[in-house]
Amino acid sequence: MLQNIRQHATSWVVKILFGILIVSFAIWGIGDIFRQAAQDPVAIKVGDQEVMTAEVANQFRRELSRMQQMMGSTITAEMARQFGMLDEVVDRIVTGALYDQEAKRLGTAVSDEVVRKAIRQEPAFQRGGTFDRLQYEQALRQNNLSEEGYVQLLRRDLSRGYVVGTIETGVVPPKTLIDRLYRIRQERRVAESLTVANASFPEPAEPDAQVLVDFHKAEAARFTAPEYRAVTYAVLSPDALAGEIAVSEDKIKEEYDRRIGEFTVAEKRDVQQILLSDEADAKRAHEMVTQGKDFAEVAKEVAGMDPSATEIGLVTRDELPEELAGPIFALQQGAVSQPVKSALGWHIVRVKAINAGSTKTLAELHDQLKREVAREQALDQLFEIANKVEDELAAGGQVEQVAEKFGFKAQKIAAVDRSGLDPEGKRVETNAGTTFVQTVFQTAQGEQSPLVESRDGVYFVLRVDSVTPATLKPLDSIRDEVLAAWRAAERDKAAKAKATQFVEQIKAGATLEKVAAEAEIPIVISEPFMRSSNVLPGGLVSRIFQIKPGEIEMAGAGDGYTIARLKEILPADPATDEAGVKRLADQVKAQTANDVVGAFSTALRRRYPVEIKQSALDSLF
């Protein structure tokens, strides 16, 4: 439940940006499936917050686009509605609105600085571990969002996140529960095993012709060639365009100046402070420090602060309150400030160390900026070209004609299967992105796909020229392959029969040691293992944890059959693994928080009346 809430809250805006990016924000071609809903523009009301019918339609379009990408463009709006997609969209919108109402009641506010940091720290906006303005702007443009609009969405999203975050804070799982779970999960066991290997049996003689015919038919799935498709396609790549774009030095300098903040590492200072409520005490502490007394000792004596409490740590100017930033960044290394008044009291600060800031020069970044500006311009051009290509395709243009008209090369693939392999098992390379093969197999023979945008800004269009159905390979053409498979199956059958015989002997009173000795098969004693281990084949590990010492289990693993006997149980003691217990407690806390947040959402529905106007939703279709 908590994961769903977070998708509706703290990750909601990023989900809009990048969930949509993955499916190329492909909503423009399906807008006409919705009717105008002017009769009732309000579809949902939560408390005093109204959600317009148009917003519900927009979110439904985005979800429909995602489903069409995954399942094929034949999915209609009505089909998606029958699958329950509209209900999911409405539920997501209602959940978000409930948190908006609660955030408003609690008076949560998100500052500009918090929003700025959230944008710069978002991994999806970074390249090489640092904020990339180009990626940020490209994401906004491709999702038809202005920077102002995105900031508004993010601010609301962060506010919702504060509400959800407060729910988690109070969740503390019982210690007895954690101890019990730890003992179950960390328990280890030791097993003794012997394996009857398929390879220990002689290769069977040549079978009769009919035996091989029957085996070929019975194992038809193993000997069937996959469906292959022949494709004509064209790729519109920003990288190809970027190589043809000339970027002026003025443009590079302009880009450098605009993004100077990205290339600047702010100065940081390692700071200590003594915090007091009384000015007289602050002056006394300052005098003691300036006379040479140890800073931590003064903090302990005058303010009652432990040494660890005096450490602010490494901070930039932006991370400090305005009253403290100036005095701290005016000090030399090792210097102590005069008493400084803030809303929290009186501060005496000492700068322990200074990490000087730095700025990369234009010369250092010249080639990088040139490539990025060229690619940005290429993306702009490609977007315009893509619109024209779509018009040409809609007018009946074929892949070859459209590619030639706009300077892109049409290419052919003789055969590709659903795994993206050719008949020789080699990977088919297209530079068209990960959705290319999926689109191939969603397109009917003789038809062209729409223009598809991949997540990295590449566009492609394709036509399926022919389809070669999956067919059973003739026995004569693969006789050696079928014969080898039959022989392997016969040896596996013999190994299973022998292992089953051993199990029956053990159950009748023979020991594992006696059976192993007579068969001249070594017994292997395992290292202690837990439930999550894979030291034994064929699912034997989980079965060993269900039996008592001395009992046996048997399983096959493709190359033979293993008989395992439980030798020893090693209990787990939570008192000896503080770190492991903490990790488990954190996991249980997160899982418990799911249920708590679910109950909280239910309570919010009672606090803030939810009205869903079904007539307005029905008017969309």
- Specify the CATH number of the domain 267-356: 3.10.50.40
- Specify the CATH number of the domain 188-224+477-570: 3.10.50
pLDDT at 38 over 80: no
Which band of pLDDT confidence, cut at 50, 70 and 90, is reported for residue 74? low
The highest-level CATH class for domain 2-171+601-618 is mainly alpha
pLDDT score for 75: 72
Return the higher-pLDDT residue of 75 and 236: 236
HSE-up (13 A, CA, CB side) for residue 556: 15
pLDDT score for 186: 95
User: Residue range 261-275: average pLDDT?
Assistant: 88
The fold of the 228-239+386-469 domain, in CATH, is Chitinase A; domain 3 (3.10.50)
pLDDT in tens, 118-157: 888 888 788 777 787 777 877 777 666 788 888 888 888 8
pLDDT in tens, 108-118: 777 777 888 88
**Residue position matching structure tokens 């070669």:** 468
- Can 228-239+386-469 and 267-356 be said to share one CATH topology? yes
Contacts of 482 (CB under 8 A, 6+ apart): 212, 215, 216, 219, 223, 475
Residue 159 contacts residue 103 (beta carbons within 8 Å): yes
pLDDT score for 71: 61
Where are the chain's structural domains? 2-171+601-618, 188-224+477-570, 228-239+386-469, 267-356
**Residue position matching structure tokens 């997501």:** 92
Weakest-pLDDT range from 132-141, 367-376, 433-442: 132-141
pLDDT in tens, 193-217: 999 999 999 999 999 999 999 999 9
What's the predicted TM-score (pTM) here? 0.52
Report the mean per-residue pLDDT for the chain: 85
| Percent of the chain whose predicted confidence (pLDDT) is above 90 | 43
Q: In what order do the strands lie in the sheet with 340-342?
A: 311-315, 268-276, 345-355, 340-342
pLDDT score for 590: 84
- The Cα–Cα gap between 339 and 334 comes to 16
Nearest in space to 460 (alpha carbons), one of 414, 397, 394, 408: 408
CB atoms within 10 A of CB 80: 21
pLDDT at 468 over 80: yes
pLDDT in tens, 474-524: 999 999 999 999 999 999 999 999 999 999 999 999 999 999 999 999 999
pLDDT score for 457: 72
Dihedral over alpha carbons 480, 486, 487, 489 (to 10 degrees): 150
pLDDT score for 137: 79
| Percent of the chain whose predicted confidence (pLDDT) is above 70 | 91
